[in-house]
Amino acid sequence: MDLYERSHAAINDWEKIVEYTLDRYGIDQTEKYMKGLINCIEALAASKGYFKEVKIKGRIVLIKHCQKHYIFGLVRRSKPLMIIAFLHERMDLITRLKRRLQ
């Protein structure tokens, strides 16, 4: 069983991060940055390392800061962690996250 899945919104976030990083910093930096995010996702899904657990709208959400982004994962009973967002640290995180949980 996979440790995590990604929502459509999270996949969209991922693609935007790739496009932005590729445009600004080139392929080598993009690959390095994305590998770092993957390592953070895997650690979060395995409940390893530092992360926060919060309740939002009655749901348990795991939050991990990774490089310049926050990764948000929705805990689901008997299912893999659902990655619901990759948000840049300068964004209005809570407002955007609440929209994802509607």
Asked whether the beta carbons of 85 and 10 are under 8 A apart, the reply is: yes
CATH value of 4-100 in 3.30.2310.20, 3.40.50.1100, 3.40.50.720, 3.30.70.260: 3.30.2310.20
Q: Has residue 37 got a pLDDT over 90?
A: yes
Task: Give per-residue pLDDT as tens, 41-84.
Answer: 999 999 999 999 999 888 999 999 999 999 999 999 999 999 99
CA distance 82 to 101: 11
Q: Please name the amino acid found at residue 9.
A: A
